[in-house]
Amino acid sequence: MKVLILAGGYGSRLAEETHNKPKPMIEIGDKPILWHIMKTYSHYGFNEFIILLGYKGQMIKEYFTNYSIYNSEITVNLSEGTTEIHKKSKEPWIITLLDTGINTMTGGRIKKAKQFIKNDTFMLTYGDGVCDLNINNLVKYHYTNKSTVTLTAVQPKGRFGTLDIQSNLVSSFIEKPLSDGTWINGGFMVCEPETIDLIDTDESVFEEYPLQNLAKNKLLGAYRHYGFWQCMDTLRDKSLLEKLWNEGNAPWKVW
């Protein structure tokens, strides 16, 4: 089963970092968040990726083209023009890097991958979120539930603590609780091939007509994930993920 990763947006809310690189290439520790996402899928045996490129996509192409050099010790002989790679870093990944256009919307990017998906069930996620999800359990749920698309539903933590006030006194305080009890689409989706037929043009937003149509027809499944999930939408989010990683307390590191 191939894994599609949406990696083409501008990431404007993280402009401090994305003015010179695409959001999926922003690092947690010394590796791009895209690498962290791929390592999670790979841990569960999913090693074929289609990365849907857009904004500054050439940087993602360069990273994977030179992956062995970036992740290994090397000796460069300038007089002979040779490079020797020591202890080559390897991953069992087959990666298709697909240019989908700078201004193409999410649905349009997915549709451009149809020739590579053919008639197979496929995975789909965003290139800016990490999770400690058991992906094999997600897949089993998808097939049991017989939905056209199954998304991973998550409850993100709120930004601020909440107060319970009784008679002008604070009776309880909860530091950054789960948000108001609502569930959101955390990505990590499993999709049947006919999903792509719901997408019309480059301007199609996957989260609008395609998913809304499936929901209306009771074909959109939700796998509730109660564990860790965090997107990297702002500099605050990046700092949190960096802190967890550097302290050796990153819940998404299942490999």
Per-residue pLDDT tens digits of the chain, which is 255 residues long: 999 999 999 888 888 888 889 999 999 999 999 999 999 999 999 999 999 999 999 999 999 999 988 888 889 999 998 888 887 778 999 999 999 999 999 999 999 999 999 999 999 999 999 999 999 999 999 999 999 999 999 998 776 665 677 776 766 666 655 656 789 999 999 999 999 999 999 999 999 999 999 999 999 999 999 999 999 999 999 999 999 999 999 999 999
Q: Give me the domains of the chain, ranges plus CATH numbers.
A: 3-246 (3.90.550.10)
pLDDT at 45: 97
* Strand, coil or helix: 254: coil
Q: What is the pTM of this model?
A: 0.89
* Strand, coil or helix: 137: helix
Taking CA atoms, 63 is separated from 56, 98, 129, 169, in Å, by: 12, 14, 19, 55
**Distance from C-alpha of 240 to C-alpha of 191, rounded to nearest angstrom:** 31
